Amino acid sequence: MIFVTDANGRATFVSRDWEELTGQTLQEVVDYGWIRVVHPDDREVARNTVAGAIREQREFSVRYRVLRRDGRPLWVAAGAVPSFGPPERTFLGFLGSITPVAEAPGGSLRAEGVLGRFVPLPAHAAALPASALESVADHLIMAHALAVQGGSGRALPAIEAALRQVGLELAGTVAAEHDATMFH
């Protein structure tokens, strides 16, 4: 699942997979409505990780349980990379992904988050991207994480520019499909 936020962390795009999984529409996700479908025991970790990433304008990773339409929890790994644009590398928001993860034997997973690092997981078979553009976003996010880990500083500006463009196109797709007034 792919998501795009503005500089304040408000969702401007969520892939249809999110609605299928949680029952939440984009209108319900905006203004941090997504936190309502995070397991109550994991909300503080998810909220604090995302708030820290917005404040510091840094990439992040967070693992938590999301509540499905029927109320059953599902572990997911989420994370995003920041997008910057002109003028002077202005922070525009985040482009990120949410991937279901298998629960460890014995239920040893716990909610946790980290700033300054995003390592996306391979796509779960049940969570394949719904569109070619979402697939591009998945791959660019992975490329960004790999470039940061591998110290490939020269590739980062091109990857970040591509991430910015894909985020704008994803948000534009939603704006064309929905009333633009729902975006803040």
List, as one string, the DSSP characters of 78-126: EEEEEEEETTTTEEEEEEEEEEE-PPPTTS----EEEES---PPPPPGG
- Domain ranges for the chain, please list them: 2-176
Give the dihedral of Cα atoms 108, 38, 32, 85; nearest 10 deg. Answer: 40
Give residue 50's pLDDT: 93
pLDDT category at 184 given cuts 50, 70, 90 is: very low
Name the pTM for this structure: 0.68
Contacts 24+ apart (CB under 8 A), 84-91: 84/57, 84/160, 84/164, 85/164, 90/7, 91/7, 91/57
Q: For the structural domain made of 2-176, what CATH number should be given?
A: 3.30.450.20
Count CA within 13 A, CB hemisphere, residue 54: 16
**Is the pLDDT reported for residue 124 higher than 50?**
no
- The residue-averaged pLDDT of 32-55 equals 94
pLDDT at position 180 is 42
- The whole-number average pLDDT for the span 104-131 is 67
Range in 67-81, 93-107, 165-179 with the lowest mean pLDDT: 165-179
Place of tokens 């994803």: 170
pLDDT-based confidence at residue 182 (cuts at 50, 70, 90): very low
Residues 6+ apart with CB under 8 A from 165: none
DSSP state of 8: T
φ, ψ (nearest 5 deg) of residue 171 = -65, -35
